[in-house]
């Protein structure tokens, strides 16, 4: 058989046959799991010093000095006039939706994390799913108009994986139809669009600073806006609606960020440039590694913008690579590369939305294709260039031997595989068969 290249890193050969893949009983390429979303942690001593200071001051939450400083720093980075820190991104979206008076129907993509739609639904607003642009994976402005009904009050667009939406086209549609325009910027902190920092677009933008984001506050989020009146309302709403010590003027909620969260955020911001530099090096290593691989494409970041490079997204075209995205995922997981199918299967295929559609789900062909082909790989401070070269070599090996691998996986699935040799191999190495 014409066997294709071995996985070879420098002079060190990792695997020299298909049977040595961990899924068939070989030793995993990595002894520890490589996670997508492994948290970046800044200077530990600074975080701990700040936590001690919080304890010394005995001011733990409710607009303390760390939250105030965190909001000031976010304003400076985004250039937005206001920043309201929140307990997480999802609650930030809910507050912003409510603060903007969204109700009835809001147009949103289905190719995103489920929180985008849930935030609307939790506020009694019906998300109406719109297909995405195949190049940017963000909501397609040209498809929005046909979804507008008398009940539509806004658009919730997502800067997916840190690539900004077509903000100009969205602003045009929104203004033509008198709709509010809200951005879910959970992935796009530190990014620019047309040279402007994300955080200034639409009526408001919402960031997530969850542990898995490259800048994190353990859990946390923030709303940015240039609208003074909206900012005042949001500030009151996230604190139960209190306008004075005993006076409540709005239906509010507890959406506050705590002082330890802000301390983590401030420390994280101090290392932000270093995190981005590291992510960029990783992205470039992935570019070099993926470029020669048939049927697997790295989704590029726009060269002329500032990017945070925090998500590494591949599109797997089975007709060219010879291996399905899901088989690739199984093989990677066995090798301890815990890749994710962000965002499978698309929110329209999740509950409660799926049942609401019944036999007539919305037709979202670009979304469906993206949900079928996308895979997200590990990056961040915990992932090194050498590990990426190994992952690249593994992917190259898999696609070069796709036929044989797929045959073995199918045989395994149908319990037809002659397992003796593989079981032998596995038991020799202490791997699972």
Rounded Cα–Cα distance for residues 430 and 428 (Å): 6
- Asked if 115 is part of the footprint of ligand T4K (rule: CB under 6 A), the reply reads yes
Rounded Cα–Cα distance for residues 284 and 311 (Å): 13
User: Which residue's CB is nearer to ligand T4K, number 24 or number 201?
Assistant: 201
User: Which residue's CB is nearer to ligand T4K, number 35 or number 381?
Assistant: 35
Question: Which letter does DSSP use for residue 362 in this model?
Answer: -
Q: What DSSP string describes 59-121?
A: --SSS-HHHHHHHHHHHHHH--SEEEEESSHHHHHHHHHHHTT--SEEEEESSS-THHHHHHH
Applying CB under 6 A, what is the total number of residues that bind ligand T4K?
Answer: 23
**HSE, side-chain direction, 13 A CA sphere, residue 296:** 32
User: Which residue's CB is nearer to ligand T4K, number 64 or number 378?
Assistant: 378
| Piece in contact with ligand T4K (CB under 6 A), picked from 82-90, 190-198, 397-405, 412-420 | 82-90
Instruction: Tell me which of 6, 16, 17, 35 binds ligand T4K, using CB under 6 A.
Output: 35
| Piece in contact with ligand T4K (CB under 6 A), picked from 18-26, 54-62, 84-92, 278-286 | 84-92
| Piece in contact with ligand T4K (CB under 6 A), picked from 182-190, 255-263, 395-403, 407-415 | 182-190
- Asked if 90 is part of the footprint of ligand T4K (rule: CB under 6 A), the reply reads yes
Closest approach of ligand T4K to the CB of residue 86, in Å: 9
| Piece in contact with ligand T4K (CB under 6 A), picked from 2-10, 37-45, 55-63, 325-333 | 37-45
Rounded Cα–Cα distance for residues 224 and 423 (Å): 57
Query: What is the dihedral sign for C-alpha 291, 297, 298, 304?
Result: positive
| Piece in contact with ligand T4K (CB under 6 A), picked from 112-120, 126-134, 250-258, 286-294 | 112-120
Angle, vertex CA 197, rays to CA 144 and CA 164, nearest 5: 30
Contact pattern from residue 151 through residue 180 relative to ligand T4K, giving x for each residue in contact according to CB under 6 A and a dash for the rest: -------x----------------------
- Asked if 42 is part of the footprint of ligand T4K (rule: CB under 6 A), the reply reads no
Give me 280's structure tokens.
């960029």
Instruction: Tell me which of 221, 295, 346, 392 binds ligand T4K, using CB under 6 A.
Output: 221
- Asked if 41 is part of the footprint of ligand T4K (rule: CB under 6 A), the reply reads no
Among 421, 309, 324, 423, smallest CA distance to 374 is for 324
Omega cis (within 30) before 343: yes
* Residues paired with residue 132 on neighbouring β-strands, in sequence order: 139
User: Which residue's CB is nearer to ligand T4K, number 334 or number 405?
Assistant: 334
What is the b/e burial string over 305-322, where b = at least 16 CB atoms within 10 angstroms of the residue's CB? bbbbbbbbbbbbebeebb
Question: Which letter does DSSP use for residue 196 in this model?
Answer: E
Closest approach of ligand T4K to the CB of residue 45, in Å: 20
Within 283-322, the residues that bind ligand T4K by CB under 6 A are none
Q: Evaluate whether 131 touches 140 at the Cβ level (below 8 Å).
A: yes
Instruction: Tell me which of 40, 78, 192, 208 binds ligand T4K, using CB under 6 A.
Output: 208
- Asked if 181 is part of the footprint of ligand T4K (rule: CB under 6 A), the reply reads no
Contact pattern from residue 322 through residue 341 relative to ligand T4K, giving x for each residue in contact according to CB under 6 A and a dash for the rest: ----------------x---
Give contact residues for ligand T4K (rule: CB under 6 A): 35-39, 88-90, 112-113, 115-116, 158, 184, 186-187, 208, 210-212, 221, 338, 342
């Amino acid at each position: 058989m014409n066997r294709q290249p071995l996985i070879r890193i420098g002079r060190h050969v990792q695997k020299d046959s298909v049977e040595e893949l961990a899924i068939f009983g070989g030793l995993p390429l990595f002894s520890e799991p490589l996670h997508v979303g492994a948290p970046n942690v800044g200077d530990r001593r600074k975080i701990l010093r700040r936590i001690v200071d919080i304890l010394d001051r005995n001011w733990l939450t409710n607009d303390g000095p760390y939250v105030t400083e965190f909001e000031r720093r976010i304003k400076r980075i985004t250039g937005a006039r206001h920043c309201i820190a929140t307990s997480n991104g999802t609650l930030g979206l809910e507050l912003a939706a409510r603060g903007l008076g969204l109700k009835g129907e809001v147009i949103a993509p289905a190719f995103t994390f489920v929180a985008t739609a849930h935030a609307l639904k939790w506020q009694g607003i019906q998300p109406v799913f719109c297909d995405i642009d195949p190049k940017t994976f963000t909501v397609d402005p040209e498809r929005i108009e046909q979804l507008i009904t008398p009940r539509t009050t806004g658009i919730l667009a997502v800067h997916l994986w840190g690539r900004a939406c077509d903000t100009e086209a969205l602003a045009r549609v929104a203004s033509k139809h008198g709709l509010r325009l809200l951005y879910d910027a959970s992935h796009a902190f530190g990014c620019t669009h047309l040279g402007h920092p994300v955080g200034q677009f639409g009526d408001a933008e919402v960031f997530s600073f969850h542990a898995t984001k490259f800048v994190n506050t353990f859990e946390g989020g923030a709303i940015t806006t240039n609208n003074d009146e909206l900012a005042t309302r949001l500030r009151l709403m996230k604190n139960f609606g209190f306008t004075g010590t005993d006076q409540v003027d709005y239906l509010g909620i507890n959406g506050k960020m705590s002082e330890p969260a802000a301390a983590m955020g401030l420390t994280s911001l101090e290392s932000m440039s270093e995190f981005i530099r590291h992510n960029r090096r990783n992205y470039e290593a992935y570019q070099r590694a993926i470029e020669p691989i048939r049927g697997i494409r790295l989704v590029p970041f726009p060269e002329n913008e500032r990017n945070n490079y925090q998500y590494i997204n591949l599109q797997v075209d089975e007709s060219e690579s010879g291996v399905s995205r899901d088989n690739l995922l199984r093989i990677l997981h066995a090798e301890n590369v815990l890749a994710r199918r962000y965002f499978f299967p698309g929110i329209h295929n999740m509950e409660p939305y799926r049942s609401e559609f019944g036999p007539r789900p919305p037709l979202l062909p670009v979304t469906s294709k993206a949900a079928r082909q996308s895979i997200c790989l590990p990056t961040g401070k915990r992932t090194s260039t050498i590990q990426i070269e190994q992952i690249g070599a593994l992917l190259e090996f898999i696609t070069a031997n796709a036929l044989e691998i797929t045959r073995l996986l199918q045989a395994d699935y149908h319990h037809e595989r002659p397992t003796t040799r593989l079981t032998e191999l596995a038991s020799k190495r202490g791997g699972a068969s």
